[in-house]
Structure 1
Amino acid sequence: MNIVLLEPEIPANTGNIGRSCVATGTRLHLIEPLGFRINEKEIRRAGMDYWKNLDVTIYSDINDFYEKNPAAREHMYFATTKAHHTYKDVEYKPDDYIMFGKESAGIPEEILSENEDTCIRIPMWGDIRSLNLSNSVAIILYEALSQNGFEKMQLTGELHKLTYK
């Protein structure tokens, strides 16, 4: 699976998303300009010690991203509050891409208009503008992984027996 962040602005969100990507074996694609330097301590703190294990690529712009990931043109979903379809209406494939826009403005309208059929949204109640970016990524990413049987992921845990005196 591939998560694409278009011009992310908040280092803590990107760090949290990076940690989710490491925990799920997902590639992270960051499209510049970024609202922070990638070596800032905030992003490392949010990603904790996982950041060094992250499969991440940074692109100079969206054209650079598409040039280096031609499959993304045919296998991309665009997360937006403006979509007609929910993220549950989609049948995700293991190598799909899911793009999220910057925190202050989302994905530009011209990109959404060109890709209206593959725009997806997370349903919300009331007039709230949007969910936090890292929460939105986690919700949609885990749906996509679930549809693919959580392939190669650890599905069980183990409780340790405690003795009480």
Structure 2
Amino acid sequence: MILHQTYRIALYQPDIPGNTGTILRMAACLGLAVDIVEPAGFDMSDRALKRAGMDYLEIAALTRHRSWEDFDTWRRDEGRRLVLFSTRSALPYCDFSFGARDILLFGRESAGVPDHVHEAADARLVIPMKADARSLNLAVSVAMAAGEAVRQAGRNAGL
């Protein structure tokens, strides 16, 4: 069974084309839209992006936003809640109730998000890890978060 979701995944200035391609492929398979907040740290036509996304890039629902300000204005106009995944949060993502119109936001692989983006989020979540672990791969983190949101949507729809 494939669930059509209204969830969106947003990547803030992603650095690594392979991660972005993998995320686009996963999102296409789950029926999720992806927003890229530019500038990205690579050319969006990059070979690694195409290799990781394979032919799924053709069916991915991708929207590019020229800046954080453009993205934030758009999402506020749409009435969407912004849920930031951050190592600076204390609330575990599995303890959070996702809403159908949420945007799951992930920062740059190299630096996360700046303070003004962190403060603009409606909710901030963390993926719990061992104390001595620094971070997960971005594509893995996005898959974990999207999986939980989709699981909750299925439960809430009585599936």
Considering the TM-score relative to the shorter chain, is it more than 0.5? yes
Match of 1:37 in 2: 43
State the SS of the aligned residue for 1:128. Answer: coil
Match of 2:33 in 1: 27
Post-superposition offset of 1:41:
1.3
Post-superposition offset of 1:129:
1.3
Post-superposition offset of 1:90:
1.1
Structure whose alpha-carbon radius of gyration is higher: 1
Match of 1:90 in 2: 96
Match of 2:24 in 1: 18
Can you list the C-alpha shifts for 1:120-142, whole angstroms capped at 9, x where unaligned? 00000132211000000000010
Match of 2:143 in 1: 138
Which structure 2 residues correspond to residues 25-104 of structure 1 after superposition, within 5 A?
A: 25-70=31-76, 74-104=80-110
Runs of 5+ consecutive residues of structure 1 not aligned to the other structure: 156-165
8 Å CA contact 2:80, 2:101 repeated in 1: no
Can you list the C-alpha shifts for 1:47-74, whole angstroms capped at 9, x where unaligned? 0110010100111111111222225665
State the SS of the aligned residue for 2:154. Answer: coil
- Alignment RMSD: 2.0
8 Å CA contact 1:79, 1:99 repeated in 2: yes
Runs of 5+ consecutive residues of structure 2 not aligned to the other structure: 1-6
Paired residues, number? 152
8 Å CA contact 2:35, 2:63 repeated in 1: yes
8 Å CA contact 1:72, 1:96 repeated in 2: no
8 Å CA contact 1:27, 1:54 repeated in 2: yes
Identity %: 35
Match of 2:113 in 1: 107
- Taking structure 1 as the reference length, the TM-score comes to 0.85
